[in-house]
Amino acid sequence: MPHSATLRYTLHNRYPGEHLVRSRGNLLRSIEMLAASDPDLGVMRNVAGRTVVVAVHPELAREVLTNHPRSLKKGLGLQRTRNVLGNGLLTSEGEFHLRQRRLAQPAFHRERIARYADVMVERTELLAATWRDGQRMDIARTMHQLTLDIVGRTLFNVDLQGQAAELGRALTAVLDTFSVWLLLIGDRLYDWPLPKMRRAKRAIPILDAAIYDIIAQHRRDGSDQGDLLSMLMSARDIEGDGSGMTDQQLRDEVMTLVLAGHETTANALAWTWWYLAQHPEVDGRLAAELDAVCGHRAPTMADVPALPYTRAVFSEAMRLRPPAYATSREVLSPIELGGQTIPVGAQIVVSPWITHRDPRWWTEPLRFDPDRWLAPRSEPMHKHAYFPFGGGSRLCIGEQFAWTEGILLVASMARRWRFHLTGPADAIRPQPAVTLRPSTGVTVRLERRRSTA
Ligand code: HEM
């Protein structure tokens, strides 16, 4: 292992790009290889000469997410999303971020989520009522359209359903360009004249038009509609000059919430159906719980605490297929981490993909086993080894929204439908774009459950 006294940290690759070459370009595999080189911190130089660190140990991942707020900012991957998200909640920094977060927070309070829950179930039940026994569909695409519809109605009081297909395509084009590849091979990728990049640049005006339309509609309607956008529009900067948010800032916040608020949950659900289709015994227990708790009626928010197995299934899918499989921070002033000095400019990656499958904290970590979440088992064996929603001051603002949506959508759909994969399960691979997507979608055949038909 090369070690130089002047570096003050240990490099785990012999030449830049070694892990990428050895993993034959498989990004997740190459992060795994780096993580396997050290139980605490994997450190390497990427092809662009940048230092990249993976915080492997949960304690260190926790430290990166919660300590050092002044020495760390969002990493290169997220900085690059500014091309689309501008200066919204996900990408903004410091005092400005704190102010915007305070303004948005009331939209995510418990009583609000309870109101959203009714919309979540209602939209799902309406959609599922159009399905036929034996029908085939890409359930990943269906989940994207459904979660986009839900985020539009709950947070912005708008009906995005008519535009869901076009918006979905535009969002996909944009999201396809972001990945942790930026970390491994350098940050100039976005400027290359690749077809993918050209498609993304063409998609941004389509998204902008839809979002400015939402803002204009709210302005026209004038009155406070009690939704998140109304709250942001009526907010005044009382510590500053008392002004409201510009249309540009509103656009950035709305774009961020539309994107962060549906893509992640949609992928978590798509993977949940993929796992359930492969595990009939789990699917059977899930159906039994739903039968016992809901019978013939649709689930409600009040049922959520009575659905531990449903929650365990969704938790387990997010353990093995965490939608936000990695996030990163850039070092602004040197920090000590795990006994090493991490220099300015280094990118520190924390990765649920890595920590969620570490055999030190999970028994048979690669096995899909919802029972690990239920008594008498008590996994994970380290209290910080599960963090699909990040942590610290940048913890996902939508975490409770996502748990509620995930559990209620699984409950609403699984009580009446089973999903069968139409091809081999392992042909659907985890594709690390900005979130972890199923590479080819998830094509399923629907079967109506007899017990509740
Ligand atoms: C399964 C679903 C979801 C997952 C796995 C997820 C994951 C995450 C993670 C890991 C972060 C932190 C990123 C970082 O530290 O760099 C984050 C931030 C964020 N998420 Fe989520 N998220 C989900 C659903 C949602 C939903 C439903 C919304 C909104 C309705 C949302 C809105 C946001 C926003 C605005 C931020 C930035 C918060 C801030 O920095 O203040 N997310 N999410």
* DSSP string computed for 288-342: HHHHHHHTTSPP-GGGGGG-HHHHHHHHHHHHHS-SS--EEEEESS-EEETTEEE
Instruction: Supply the pLDDT for residue 178.
Output: 65
pLDDT band at residue 223 under the 50/70/90 scheme: low
Instruction: Supply the pLDDT for residue 378.
Output: 82
CA of 7 to the centre of ligand 1 (A): 34
Supply the Cα-derived Rg of the chain in whole angstroms. Answer: 22
Nearest alpha carbon to residue 438 among 359, 327, 325: 325
Instruction: Supply the pLDDT for residue 4.
Output: 41
Q: Is 401 in the pocket of ligand 1 (CB under 6 A)?
A: yes
H/E element, 72: strand 72-74
Q: Is 173 in the pocket of ligand 1 (CB under 6 A)?
A: no
Q: How far apart are CA 125 and CA 128, in angstroms?
A: 5
Q: What percent of the chain has pLDDT over 90?
A: 62
**268 token code pair:** 């978590």
Residue with CA closest to ligand 1 atom 6: 389
What is the CATH class of 68-324+388-448?
Answer: mainly alpha
- Mean pLDDT confidence for 391-397: 95
Instruction: Supply the pLDDT for residue 34.
Output: 84
43-95: pLDDT as tens digits: 887 767 788 899 999 999 999 999 999 999 999 888 878 878 899 999 999 99
93-137: pLDDT as tens digits: 999 999 999 989 988 999 999 999 999 999 999 999 999 999 999
Instruction: Supply the pLDDT for residue 451.
Output: 60
CA of 134 to the centre of ligand 1 (A): 35
Atom nearest to 395 CA in ligand 1: 12
pLDDT band at residue 368 under the 50/70/90 scheme: very high
Q: Is 260 in the pocket of ligand 1 (CB under 6 A)?
A: yes
Between 16 and 125, residue with greater pLDDT = 125
Instruction: Supply the pLDDT for residue 48.
Output: 73
Instruction: Supply the pLDDT for residue 453.
Output: 40
CA of 355 to the centre of ligand 1 (A): 18
Q: Is 257 in the pocket of ligand 1 (CB under 6 A)?
A: yes
Mean pLDDT of the chain: 88
Instruction: Supply the pLDDT for residue 23.
Output: 64
Between 6 and 439, residue with greater pLDDT = 439
pLDDT band at residue 217 under the 50/70/90 scheme: confident
Between 198 and 151, residue with greater pLDDT = 151
Q: What percent of the chain has pLDDT over 70?
A: 90
- In this model, does residue 237 exceed pLDDT 90? no
- In this model, does residue 202 exceed pLDDT 50? yes
- In this model, does residue 6 exceed pLDDT 60? no
Residue 96 one-letter amino acid: F
Pocket perturbation via mutation, ligand 1, pick of 264, 330, 350, 355 by most ligand atoms within 8 A of CB: 264
427-443: pLDDT as tens digits: 999 998 888 999 999 99
Q: How far apart are CA 379 and CA 327, in angstroms?
A: 23
272-284: pLDDT as tens digits: 999 999 999 999 9
**35 token code pair:** 């993580």
- In this model, does residue 395 exceed pLDDT 70? yes
Between 305 and 189, residue with greater pLDDT = 305
- Mean pLDDT confidence for 387-416: 97
- In this model, does residue 17 exceed pLDDT 90? no
Q: Is 394 in the pocket of ligand 1 (CB under 6 A)?
A: yes
- Mean pLDDT confidence for 211-218: 87
